[in-house]
Amino acid sequence: MNHLRNSFSLAYGSFRTVVALQGLVLAVFSACFADSLWQGFWAGLGTFALFVAGGAIFGFLPMALAFTPLYALLCAKGLANWLSSLLLGLTIAGVLCLHPALRLLMPLWLLDSALIALLTHWTYRHQLKEGYEQTPLWH
């Protein structure tokens, strides 16, 4: 249970970071093509809000219900590495995009899932490294 709780907090943090950064990039991109500063502000704000809402609706459930438990299992078995994390994220996104209505989202979901998986594993490794450095040598 500890691996699941830890994996969920790491994956959720990675999910928020990826969605917010991509929303910001798309917001700046859409604001650049506006006629005035005021229109650019509202276009950017609307794009950011739409992207974050879409990411929360379409991305949170696969992350919470599929990626997190499987990544926690990898961590518990000691099999979590860069390649297994990346393959897990890409597999989940690939399976979701098999549905014909979701195929247009495939490039974005593959990119998002790869970034979330790699960022989750990076934070997991960083946590392990900090944990080992903080424990005394005689334990």
Each residue of 19-43: pLDDT tens digit? 888 888 888 888 888 888 889 899 8
CA dist 121 → 14, 17, 69, 100, 104 (Å): 9, 14, 14, 30, 27
Res 36: pLDDT: 87
pLDDT at 9 over 60: yes
pLDDT at 61 over 60: yes
Q: What average pLDDT does the chain have? A: 84
Residue type, 47: T
CA dist 122 → 10, 34, 72, 84, 101 (Å): 9, 37, 14, 12, 32
Res 85: pLDDT: 93
Confidence band, pLDDT 50/70/90 cuts, at residue 134? very low
DSSP 66-120: IIHHHHHHHHHHT---HHHHHHHHHHHHHHHTTSGGGGGGHHHHHHHHHHHHHHH
- Residues in the chain, overall count: 139
Predicted TM-score of the model (pTM) = 0.80
What's the CA dihedral at 42, 17, 67, 105 to 10 degrees? 30
Question: CA geometry: angle at 90 spanning 84 and 94, to 5°?
Answer: 140
Q: Which residue is associated with the tokens 């910001």?
A: 24
Rounded Cα–Cα distance for residues 22 and 28 (Å):
10
Closest CA to 60 of 21, 99, 104, 18: 18
pLDDT at 14 over 50: yes
- What percentage of residues in the chain have a pLDDT greater than 90? 13
Confidence band, pLDDT 50/70/90 cuts, at residue 1? low
